[in-house]
Structure 1
């Protein structure tokens, strides 16, 4: 892939087949995780009557999902008060369904605009924003799974099983960066 370029009122790029397969596979995995979380949400009779959905009051156990769906209220990690825990639970219950909808929506936009076999892509600025959000979610998920920190070297020894995945993480960072640059030209 060459970097994203701005062409009039759109941004364009060409993805090789393997690149498209990587992006589609990772975006699909994130979408599947988020969809499963949404489907596991409690069913509320009041929500059926009012149309106001509620989500789970507890954060995900999976660290990757936890990174994608962080707490809506900052807790003291050493000694959270009952009031703070209650606030965090209430805010999660109220806002997580909308966050899930937004994240699943941008993932589906990427899957709908990225040809399965690669090729030319032309995105409106709105579609490009969806791509940025979805790429960010994929990078957060992959970074969490790989335990990417400031201390992690840019390259890992070939013997480290994370090495090829870290290369994908860096490539996705580049894809996202060139898209931002194209949008801000």
Structure 2
């Protein structure tokens, strides 16, 4: 891939078969994780009557999924203190807003899977599709960065014996793909 460019009102790139497979594979995994979380939603008779969906009131236990679906308030990682005056309100907020967040995230993943050619090749995106790609790539980077424990102070080239080395290369490549897409959309 040589990066994204803007042509005739569209954002365009050429993906190799391997690049398309990496993007499709990672976006598909994120979509599967989010879909599984959506299926954990408790059955609610009131929601069935009113059409107002609710979700789980507790955050995901999985660290990666927790990064994709963060709490609706800030928690100090050292002390555990929150900026929420009523801690039970956080569960209510999650229950109300998580279903919409899951729909949005699985929706952007679907757009990527629909527009990324399985065998590689030319990708031509409208402005809205490009926005969806940016959001989905961001979710993949958040998940991968969490799984790999990416830190600000990490060296760009990890030591040869670092087991994360190969995966960090994928993370860095995705960062470049997303940055290139942002530049093309902004130009």
Normalised to the residue count of structure 1, the TM-score between the two structures is 0.96
Give the corresponding residue for 2:135. 133
Query: How much has 1:9 moved relative to structure 2?
Result: 1.1
Mapped to 1, the partners of 2:8 and 2:82 lie a distance apart of: 51
Mapped to 1, the partners of 2:107 and 2:65 lie a distance apart of: 16
Give the corresponding residue for 2:62. 62
Size of the alignment, in residue pairs?
Answer: 185
Normalised to the residue count of structure 2, the TM-score between the two structures is 0.95
Mapped to 2, the partners of 1:165 and 1:33 lie a distance apart of: 19
Give the corresponding residue for 1:184. 186
The one of 169, 172, 187 aligned to 1:170: 172
Give the corresponding residue for 1:31. 31
Q: Which runs of 4+ in 1 moved over 6 A?
A: none
Helix, strand or coil for the counterpart of 2:6? strand
In structure 2, list runs of 5 or more residues that go unmatched. Answer: none
Helix, strand or coil for the counterpart of 2:86? helix
Q: Which moved more, 1:128-137 or 1:158-167?
A: 158-167
Map residues 43-122 of structure 1 onto 2, 5 A cutoff. Answer: 43-75=43-75, 77-80=79-82, 83-122=85-124
Q: Is the 2:6–2:12 Cα contact (8 Å) retained in structure 1?
A: yes
**Pairwise CA RMSD of aligned residues?**
1.4
